[in-house]
């Protein structure tokens, strides 16, 4: 059996970023994921904002890695085609107490190295977002806040890792750990994996895996965030991300455009016991509708396209928990709650520097180019609009999902890519198929057939 230099547990944004970084060295690496696809945990259901880190707690590891990750992911998005729209954000104060907080928030942003925030009047706010509900007293701009696609980001990082030689082991849930003096054997559902070092990036499962290594230091509390997605007709109402003034209990409910051309309202923040509770709740959705009515009354006249929920891996400390245990040759990457999309690449860089005293993490020469990802962003050209692409390959002119204008060429490409979808939901995340107004009412049956035919012939991993 192969003994890898490093096994990374968890194929979410963070694990994929770490595997990609390690894959760029001379080390042999396995990315070990419980599910049948990468990016199928928390990383598939967030608000997809590329945060500047203006409101992070200064001096924390999270503040440093979010700021660094913002730059790294911005650059990586250019290289790979991950869609990013530089919409900027407007933070709105709705009462005197919030208004009084704004200067301190700007100072906090500056302490975090972000110098672009400006305090603005109520008149400025309504000039920027004319449909905002009445009662805004003032605000602060955060011009760097941006929107992106979490699905493409996770897939790009994992694809890059595979292209760099990382072995992707899907369907491998780590159930037990057996340590010997030279290596660690991970007992997994899909077969055992042996490695000299292990990185735990298991998100909601990070505390469980940590206990398998003999630690008893933290517990993950799933903090559910529920969201509404409104129809594309609502997009002109929301030219930028509209944020509330953050409070001790979190970032609060925002309204934001999405890169797919929709509008998002959410998320809630509710601590649960159940780590699988990714469904929405009537109470959560009612709460959001009340918030939306006050924030942007006209939004509620628009159709709702979908609702969804994600679980943040909250822990009982106000920072990431990243720690190396040299005796066990083990790295914990825990508590990556609400900023991991932005910080993922910087977390990987940080893990690399922590490992550098123990392993040779020097980048090797002649790395493959980063993968060029299919564009899912509405602001950038898509295949159905590209006459030259259609002339060269008519499959890009055959629309299958009419709501989101997804073509047969894109569906075929998803199945011939290095990490093909495992099911219909995986196909959604790679193409946007079935994500539109009808939610698959018209194209669902055809897509299900395609998943059966193409899914049987696609590439894949052990």
Residues that bind ligand FAD (CB under 6 A): 9-15, 32-35, 40-43, 46-49, 51, 173-174, 201-205, 209, 225, 267, 310-312, 336-342
Peptide bond into 267 cis (omega under 30): yes
Pick between residue 45 and residue 454 the one whose CB is nearest to ligand FAD: 45
Q: How far is the CB of 42 from ligand FAD (least distance, A)?
A: 3
Biggest CA pair distance of the chain: 67
Pick between residue 6 and residue 336 the one whose CB is nearest to ligand FAD: 336
Pick between residue 232 and residue 312 the one whose CB is nearest to ligand FAD: 312
Q: Answer whether 442's CB lies under 8 Å from 422's CB.
A: no
Q: How far is the CB of 15 from ligand FAD (least distance, A)?
A: 5
Pick between residue 9 and residue 408 the one whose CB is nearest to ligand FAD: 9
For residue 40, what is the DSSP state? Answer: -
Pick between residue 14 and residue 184 the one whose CB is nearest to ligand FAD: 14
Checking DSSP bridges between strand 193-200 and strand 254-257, what pairing results, if any? unpaired
CA distance 180 to 392: 56
Q: How far is the CB of 85 from ligand FAD (least distance, A)?
A: 13
Q: Among residues 89, 103, 85, 91, which one has the least CA distance to residue 143?
A: 89
Q: Among residues 69, 77, 146, 156, which one has the least CA distance to residue 348?
A: 69
Q: How far lies 127's CA from each of 173, 186, 199, 215, 292, in Å? A: 52, 57, 49, 54, 19
3-state secondary structure of 174: strand
Q: How far is the CB of 9 from ligand FAD (least distance, A)?
A: 5
Pick between residue 310 and residue 371 the one whose CB is nearest to ligand FAD: 310
For 332-399, give the DSSP string: EEE---S-HHHHHHHHHHHHHHHHTTTS--PPPSSPPPPP-PPP--TTS--GGG-HHHHHH-GGGG-E
Pick between residue 124 and residue 270 the one whose CB is nearest to ligand FAD: 270
First to last CA, the chain: 14
Q: How far is the CB of 33 from ligand FAD (least distance, A)?
A: 5
Q: Answer whether 414's CB lies under 8 Å from 431's CB.
A: yes
Q: How far is the CB of 408 from ligand FAD (least distance, A)?
A: 29
For residue 133, what is the DSSP state? Answer: P
Q: How far is the CB of 48 from ligand FAD (least distance, A)?
A: 6
Q: How far is the CB of 181 from ligand FAD (least distance, A)?
A: 24
Per this entry, what is the length of the chain?
462
Q: What are phi and psi of 239, to 5 degrees?
A: -75, -20
Pick between residue 47 and residue 141 the one whose CB is nearest to ligand FAD: 47
Q: How far is the CB of 13 from ligand FAD (least distance, A)?
A: 4
Residue 302 Cα to chain centre, angstroms: 26
Q: Among residues 15, 47, 19, which one has the least CA distance to residue 146?
A: 47
3-state secondary structure of 23: helix
CA distance 13 to 11: 7
Q: How far is the CB of 177 from ligand FAD (least distance, A)?
A: 10
Pick between residue 244 and residue 383 the one whose CB is nearest to ligand FAD: 244
Pick between residue 51 and residue 232 the one whose CB is nearest to ligand FAD: 51
For 132-197, give the DSSP string: PPTT--EEEEETT-EEE-HHHHHHHHHHHHHHTTPEEETT--EEEEEE-SS-EEEEETT--EEEEE
Q: How far is the CB of 54 from ligand FAD (least distance, A)?
A: 13
Q: Among residues 379, 435, 425, 429, which one has the least CA distance to residue 405?
A: 435
Pick between residue 211 and residue 437 the one whose CB is nearest to ligand FAD: 211
């Amino acid at each position: 059996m192969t003994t890898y230099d490093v096994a990374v547990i968890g194929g979410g944004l963070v694990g994929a970023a770490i595997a990609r970084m390690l894959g760029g060295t001379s080390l042999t690496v396995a990315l070990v994921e419980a599910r049948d696809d990468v990016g199928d945990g928390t990383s598939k259901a967030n608000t997809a904002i590329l945060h500047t880190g203006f409101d992070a707690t200064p001096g924390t590891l999270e503040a440093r890695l979010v700021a660094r990750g913002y730059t790294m992911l911005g650059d990586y998005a250019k290289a790979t085609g991950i869609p990013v729209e530089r919409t900027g954000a407007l933070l709105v104060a709705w009462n005197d107490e919030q208004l009084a907080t704004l200067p301190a928030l700007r100072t906090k942003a500056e302490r975090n190295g972000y110098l672009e925030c400006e305090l603005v009047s109520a008149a400025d706010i309504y000039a920027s977002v004319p449909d905002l509900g009445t009662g805004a007293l003032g605000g602060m701009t955060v011009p760097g806040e941006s929107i992106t696609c979490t699905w493409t980001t996770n897939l790009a990082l994992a694809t890059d890792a595979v292209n760099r030689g990382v072995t992707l082991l899907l369907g491998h849930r780590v159930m037990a750990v057996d340590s010997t003096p030279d290596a660690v054997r991970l007992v997994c559902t899909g077969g055992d994996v042996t490695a000299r070092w292990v990185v735990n990036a298991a998100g909601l499962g990070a505390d469980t895996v940590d206990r398998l290594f003999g630690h008893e230091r933290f517990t993950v509390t799933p903090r559910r965030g529920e969201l509404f997605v409104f129809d594309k007709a609502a997009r002109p109402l929301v030219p930028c991300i509209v944020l509330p003034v953050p409070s001790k209990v979190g970032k609060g409910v925002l309204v934001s455009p999405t890169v797919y051309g929709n509008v998002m309202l959410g998320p809630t923040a509710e601590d649960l016991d159940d780590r699988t509770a990714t469904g929405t709740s009537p109470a959560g959705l009612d709460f959001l509708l009340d918030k939306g009515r006050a924030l942007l009354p006209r939004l509620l006249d628009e159709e709702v396209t979908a609702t969804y929920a994600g679980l943040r891996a909250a822990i009982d400390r106000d920072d990431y928990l990243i720690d190396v245990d040299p005796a066990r040759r083990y790295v914990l990457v825990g508590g990556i709650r609400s900023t991991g999309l932005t910080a993922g690449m910087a977390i990987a860089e940080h893990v690399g520097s922590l490992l550098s005293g123990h392993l040779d993490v020097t980048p090797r020469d002649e790395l493959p180019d980063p993968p060029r990802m299919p564009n899912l962003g509405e602001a950038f050209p898509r295949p159905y609009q590209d006459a030259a692409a259609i002339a060269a390959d008519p499959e890009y002119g055959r629309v299958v999902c009419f709501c989101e204008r997804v073509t047969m060429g894109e569906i075929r490409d998803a199945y011939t890519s290095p990490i093909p979808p495992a099911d219909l939901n995986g196909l959604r995340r790679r193409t946007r198929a079935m994500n539109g107004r009808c939610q698959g009412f018209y194209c669902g049956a055809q897509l299900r057939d395609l998943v059966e035919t193409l899914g049987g012939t696609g590439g894949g991993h052990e």
